[in-house]
Chain A
Amino acid sequence: MHLPHSLHIKSTYFDYPLYPFRPPHELTGRTAPHPVVIVGAGPVGLIVAMELGRRGIRTVLLEAIETVSPGSRATCVSRRSMEIMLQNQCDEPFVSKALMWTEGSSFYRDQMVYRLRMPHSADERYFPMANIQQCVYEKFLVDRVEQIDHVDLRWQSKVVGLTEGKDTVTLRIDTPEGEYDLSARYVVAADGARSIVRELLGLRLAGESHSGRYLIADIRMASSYPTERRAWFDPPSNPGNTILMHKQPDDIWRIDYQLATDQDSDYELQDDRVRARIKAHLDWIGETAPWQLEWTSLYKAHCLCLDDYRYGRILFAGDAAHLVPIFGVRGMNSGIADANNLGWKLAYVLQGLAPDSLLDSYTPERRAATLDIFDNARKSTLFMTPPTRGYQLTRDAVLQLAIDEDSMKPLINPRQSTPYDYVASPLTTAQREPFERGPRAGAPLINIRLKSGQGKHEHLLDHLGPDFNLLWFGESPAEFRIDVSSTLEGVRVKPILITRLAARSTQGLCVIHDHDGRLYSSFDATAGCAYLIRPDGHVCARWRSWDEAHLAQALRRALTR
């Protein structure tokens, strides 16, 4: 009998909801296999459910505990993740609550040695980064999922067994009222770093673990300091080590401090010890307001992943598939990108619009993204937590030189998360013609601001449909003579005309008036040019000149048909 014991999590700013267990039909008798069962209702599992739900696919979403994840955990959300939330209509509560930021400061002792400035302009809908506690963010996602009829969210339901059949996977579920079997055509394992699904299959993550440890703590403190990333190397408050500090909503501050190699984790996690160390740092940076300790945890950097994110009918996403260092905020953001990638592919396979082989593209696309993260995160981790005397000495030399020498400063760049381009993906059509600007084939679409209407800003992504989209740069709707609905049987393509002339949308053709030519310029477009966009918002082909055959070929490639 599974009885979760995370009840009564205390917080100074967040009331943890308690979600009841509701006995499902399977407890009293067998039911037909479900299309998809998702294990784990964290951000990744919730977004997979939304991606499938908005395409009409029913899912069962299982969560072992009875509330959202405790603590602030993955607190930085990237612009790309916000765009994925927008596509799933769950960005509004997030945007109104989260703290947006673009900049950061890195200090060596008391000297600023690097100023982080992430690319941002007034044309963007979202800031490059937003801080919000994961528990708050997850609650928003749960609220949204509860509005979707297609998602059967089952709390207090723990996977304890797994059997693979030819056409289905059967999970054994333990609940407060006993066990039952649950079958599905596909299972998405989004059950986190300690994935039970991974364990039941006997799969192991491979890679390297770094030696540096961080104690991460949330405190509640009123401070007017702006929202930005602050990093200190070798501050008097943590000699020889580093400290990171982030502002979160509701006066919550996240402080991550590196533990020295000889410091005992259990001793350092004691409340009195944590308070003393935080006080030393706050005193040193001049924060004088009273504060309360909210939450603590311990963190170690890993670069670990599965060899394959697909195991038959089971697909791994987020921390269940890969563990990445926190430096650069890639953990949850890469998990959300997994969900975005997997959602449409599963939907297309289940709707019969693509063969099962489309799911084989999930690993090459998302594991390549993980390996790219490892490359960046390894550099960040070696700089943040030098593992040897050689790295420590070289890092300290760079930091001292950077006080006077600008040429050294790029080495201090924390390499914040950026979206991964599926340029080498088997789903991407190679470009035949040169483009000087615009998202290349494989890259996510850029969300450019369009002309304002009655004080309301619109952006390009607002016009995209949930399936394929074709951005066609032309003059008038009358010139668009291709019947995209018949290009590839059953496959929905939304044509969007981008024109510099005023024109109205017609039935079957959405029109965007590029009144100042910014879209043409940003996409390096010439008349007749087209961009084909995948359902997850990545460009899968772009042409200066094209016809129906090119479109059909690109769609077949994108769907492995």
Chain B
Amino acid sequence: MLTTEALERIFDDIALSIDTVGDRNESLFLTKLALALANQLSDEMLVRAQVALARRHLQA
């Protein structure tokens, strides 16, 4: 698990990156980020569980 301080830094980094890449590239950037992190995790079941988690609570 990451420390709270590390999570805070990552929070800022992702937020600022979304602003930097702009509306047109936002979804592509986030999808690339998810795939890159999935590859680093090297655990298909864990990645698919996280994909399911991320799909929860989205508004219709």
Contacts and interface: CB of A to CB of B under 8 A. Distances in A.
Nearest to A386: B15
Contacts of A379: 8
B15 A391 contact: yes
A395 B53 CA distance: 16
B56 A398 contact: no
A390 interface: yes
A394 interface: yes
Contact of B19 (A111, A390, A395, A398): A390
A503 B3 CA distance: 48
B35 interface: no
B47 interface: no
B45 to A, nearest CB: 17
A388 B56 contact: no
B53 A393 contact: no
A405 B1 CA distance: 12
B54 interface: yes
Contacts of B4: 410-411, 413
Interface in B1-17: 1-2, 4, 7-8, 11-12, 14-17
A388 B19 contact: yes
Interface in A351-405: 379, 382, 386, 388-391, 393-395, 398, 400-401, 403-405
B57 A390 contact: no
Contact of A394 (B1, B2, B18, B54): B18
Contact of B58 (A389, A393, A400, A410): A400
Interface in B22-53: 23, 26, 53
B15 A388 contact: yes
23 contacts: A379-B8, A382-B12, A386-B15, A388-B15, A388-B19, A389-B18, A389-B23, A390-B16, A390-B17, A390-B20, A393-B15, A394-B11, A400-B56, A400-B57, A401-B53, A404-B53, A407-B2, A407-B7, A408-B7, A410-B7, A411-B4, A411-B7, A413-B4
Interface of B: 1-2, 4, 7-8, 11-12, 14-20, 23, 26, 53-54, 56-58
